[in-house]
Chains A and B, each alone.
Chain A
Amino acid sequence: MKKKNLILAFESSCDETSVAVIEDGQKILSNVIATQINSHKRFGGVVPEVASRHHIEQITICIDEALKEAQIKTEQLTAVAVTYGPGLVGALLVGVAAAKVFAYANDLPLIPVNHMAGHIYAARFVKPIVFPAMALLVSGGHTELVYMPYENEFQIIGETRDDAAGEAYDKIGRVLGISYPAGKQIDELAHQGKDNFHFPRAMIHEDNLDFSFSGLKSAFINTVHHADQIGETLDKADLAASFQQSVIDVIVQKTLTACAKLPVKQLILAGGVAANRGLRETLDKQLAKSQPELDFVKAPLKLCGDNAAMIGAAGYVAMNHHIFADANLNAEPSLEFDWVPDAVK
């Protein structure tokens, strides 16, 4: 019998401390996630120093729970994988320091994982990735189209020029009086309203695959402030629906263009905002209409947010490509995939 590949994976790039045990890159034996949302709620957003402090409180507890839940002993492990960027530097450092010394003390190879590759590989728990593939990555920190011509190659072919989509959600959430993180509530509210405000669809007709959400954010804020000044009350559900529709229209349009221009067999939707119901439904509908032969894989709802299972899945692939790190691995807060802006020209 072939020996199982068992990866202990670490994730601590933002406000979730997570450790997972992944078998053969595709089976979750455990995926312990300690979220700090309650703490950062106090401040209306993630405070980096507070996040780092919570990570160090949680890290060994999470390792222990992940191993126990998976019923795996350290001696059975094949390798250790860890997110080393992008993310908050102080937060990343806790996971990196813990993963490095755990690997060292137990004579295990260490695999460095790009957090965004992790998000994409959350889809691996649904089915194998088929290349060439396209990934639409939408989260609080990123909005990008990633082309994957073959395994373990990631090229950014389009990205946001200003705010990430998730960031825009949090900012307009503040205007609507919705507490951080606002994405889920705005999504729900949007389903009860109508797109009556017709906010701008930035860059939708431009001949590139980039996004911009700061103009939409400003239009939204101006509309609300103007109404406030003349003593008018706007329907919150309609506001949410109009905002969300503008975000979705732009994202979906650019994604369809990218998929039509490149020879992709599969489209992967991943990242924190991939949990957005409106986005999932619209992509389903539009793809069925215009590109029905394209295999559309959505990251499972439970794995859209940050978690170590996805890091283990991406780490497994990196390991097969002999990507290992030494004891001097550092956190790289602004780590990015290669940027290939002219991919579709």
Chain B
Amino acid sequence: MKLLALDTSNRPLSAAVLEDDRLLAMTTTNIGRNHSVQLLPVVETLLQQAGVHASDLQRIVVAEGPGSYTGLRIAATTAKTLAYTLNIDLVGISSLTALAANVSDEGRLIVPMFDARRQNVFAGVYRRTKNGLEAVMADRHISIEKLVAQLASQQEPVWFVGQDVAVYAEILHEALGNNFRRVADAQNLPNAFVLGQLGLDAKPVAHPFNFIPKYLRLTQAEVEWKKQHPQEDTKPYVEKI
């Protein structure tokens, strides 16, 4: 099976072309350039290098969030439109799961995280077992304080993954002491080869039509509106005219 994997959840961009579980071509950048400008040219180049025509693809795997809202939408729109027009399977994989999967050591407790600003993070807790990655705590938007409180009870090393771990390193070290562990730099970046492997056997979405990123957070405007109007709604929000 020929597969294209895309991740633009945050500042890094990673894209790969796989043939089954084998990597054909991959590009990862970490330059903070506009993903909207970069993504499709990267995909074009990768497919060319791999000698694969777009119409040969059989599956698209995309990091579906959480992450930067705009970043998520660029890969997700590209992935769902491509899957729709080629009439092939679309798989969404958690951006945090994909990052956790960079850690291959069995038995480890793994916490992938992205900064969500103002002392909040998007994070999940995973354990690597012989069967693969198991979720211990589902991905969520959580204050660093709460996350630390939950992890402090763990009597074992916790491996943190992601470039944004650096932002909270001090807090984490203070709370967890020697159980605060960091992975090698290379594992802090999303890796579309790893993402593609995760998506190889994962269940595709029922239809690309309904695929949307997992933001894990309502917009500020909606949160406030719901607070002020607990009983009301204006659904359907979108109508054909």
Q: Chain B's nearest CB lies how many Å from the CB of A301?
A: 12
Task: Tell me whether B86 and A105 are in contact (CB under 8 A).
Answer: yes
Task: Give every chain B residue within 8 A of A38 (Cβ-Cβ).
Answer: 234-239
Query: Please, how many angstroms separate the alpha-carbon atoms of A106 and B84 in the complex?
Result: 12
Please give me the residue from chain B that is nearest to A60 by CB atom. B84
Q: What's the count of A-B pairs with C-beta under 8 Å?
A: 133
**A252 at interface (Cβ–Cβ under 8 A)?**
no
A interface size (C-beta, 8 A): 46
Does B49 belong to the interface (CB within 8 Å)?
Answer: no
Q: Which residues of A contact B39 (CB under 8 A)?
A: 97
CB of B201 closer than 8 Å to a CB of A? no
Is the C-beta of A78 less than 8 angstroms from some C-beta in chain B? no
Structural contact, A93 and B36, CB atoms closer than 8 A: yes
Q: Shortest beta-carbon distance, B114 to chain A, in Å?
A: 17
Q: A60 to chain B: which residues have CB within 8 Å?
A: 80-81, 84, 208-209
- CB <8 Å contact, A74 and B234: no
Binding stretch for chain A, among B22-30, B161-169, B215-223: B215-223
Closest to B38 in A: A328
Rounded to whole angstroms, the CA-CA distance of A277 and B39 in the bound complex is 45
* B219 and A98 contacting across the interface, CB-CB below 8 Å: no
Of residues 118 through 142 on chain B, the ones whose CB sits less than 8 Å from some CB of chain A are none
Stretch at the interface among A28-36, A135-143, A286-294: A28-36
Taking CB atoms, residues of chain A closer than 8 Å to B36 are 93, 96-97, 330-331
Which residues from A are CB-within-8-Å of B220?
A: 49
Chain B contacts for A101, CB-based, 8 A: 40, 43, 77-78, 81-82, 85
Q: Which residues of chain A from 35 to 61 have any CB-CB distance to chain B below 8 Å in the complex?
A: 35-39, 41-43, 47, 49-50, 52-54, 56-61
Bound: A93/B81 CA distance, A: 13
CA distance A195 to B55 in the complex (A): 63
Complex: how many Å from CA A90 to CA B72? 11
A61 is contacted by which of B74, B209, B235 (Cβ under 8 Å)?
B209
* Chain B min CB distance to A93 (Å): 5
Question: Is residue A94 within 8 Å, beta carbon to beta carbon, of the partner chain?
Answer: yes
| B146 in contact (CB, < 8 A) | no
B104 within 8 A of A: no
Do A32 and B238 touch (CB < 8 A)?
A: no
Known contacts A35-B238, A52-B69, A330-B37; A97 and B44 CB within 8 A of each other: no
Given B74, B213, B221, B234, which contacts A47 in the complex, CB threshold below 8 Å?
A: B221
CB neighbours of A32 from chain B (8 A)? 240
Decide yes or no whether A64 CB sits under 8 A from chain B: yes
Does B41 interact with chain A (Cβ within 8 Å)? yes
Q: Closest chain B residue to A38 by CB distance?
A: B234
Q: Is the CB of A34 within 8 A of B85?
A: no
Whether the Cβ atoms of A36 and B81 lie closer than 8 Å is no
Q: Name the residue of chain B whose CB is nearest to the CB of A58.
A: B238
> How far, in angstroms, from A221 to B219 measured CA to CA in the complex?
31
Distance between Cα atoms of A104 and B54 in the complex (Å): 8
| Distance between Cα atoms of A303 and B185 in the complex (Å) | 54
Q: Mark A308-345, 1 if CB is under 8 A from B, else 0.
A: 00000000000000000011111100000000000000
Cβ distance B91 to chain A, nearest Cβ, rounded Å: 16
Q: Is the CB of A50 within 8 A of B221?
A: yes
Looking at the assembled complex, report how far the CB atom of B15 sits from the nearest CB atom of chain A, in whole angstroms.
Answer: 12
How long is the Cα–Cα vector from A61 to B85 in the complex, in angstroms? 11
Q: Which of A54, A94, A98, A330 contacts B237 (CB 8 A)?
A: A54
Q: Does A165 contact B (CB under 8 A)?
A: no
- Cβ of B186 within 8 Å of any chain A Cβ, yes or no, is no
On whether the beta carbons of A97 and B73 are closer than 8 Å, the reply is: yes
Asked if A100 is at the interface (CB within 8 A of a chain B CB), the reply is yes
Check: B70 CB closer than 8 A to any chain A CB.
yes
Q: Answer yes or no: B206 CB below 8 A from chain A CBs.
A: no
Q: Shortest distance in angstroms between B164's beta carbon and chain A's nearest beta carbon?
A: 21
Residues of A within 8 A of B43 (CB): 101, 104
A63 touches B81 (CB 8 A): yes
State in angstroms the CA–CA spacing of A117 and B241 once bound together.
22
CB of A70, distance to nearest CB on chain B (Å): 15
Other-chain contact of A50, B81, B219, B236 (Cβ < 8 Å): B219
B76 CB-CB contact with A under 8 Å: yes
Residues of A within 8 A of B178 (CB): none
Is A57 touching B212 in the complex (CB atoms < 8 A)?
A: yes
A34 cross-chain contacts in B, Cβ below 8 A: 238-241
Residue A125 is within 8 A (CB to CB) of chain B in the complex = no
Note all chain B residues with C-beta closer than 8 A to A131.
none
Residue of A nearest to B45 (CB): A327
Give the residues in chain B near A41, CB-CB below 8 Å: 234
A197 at the interface (CB under 8 A from B): no
Contacts of B222 in A (CB 8 A): 42, 50
4 nearest A-B residue pairs (beta carbon): A39-B237, A327-B40, A97-B77, A47-B221
Given contacts A43-B225, A97-B36, A105-B85, 11 further A-B contacts (CB under 8 A): A33-B241, A34-B238, A39-B237, A42-B221, A47-B219, A53-B212, A54-B238, A60-B81, A101-B81, A327-B41, A330-B34
Q: Which residues of A contact B (CB under 8 A)?
A: 17, 32-39, 41-43, 47, 49-50, 52-54, 56-61, 63-64, 74, 89-90, 93-94, 96-98, 100-102, 104-106, 326-331
- Can you list 18 A-B contacts (CB < 8 A)? A34-B238, A34-B239, A34-B241, A38-B235, A39-B238, A47-B219, A53-B69, A56-B213, A58-B238, A63-B81, A74-B85, A93-B70, A97-B78, A98-B81, A101-B77, A101-B85, A104-B43, A328-B38
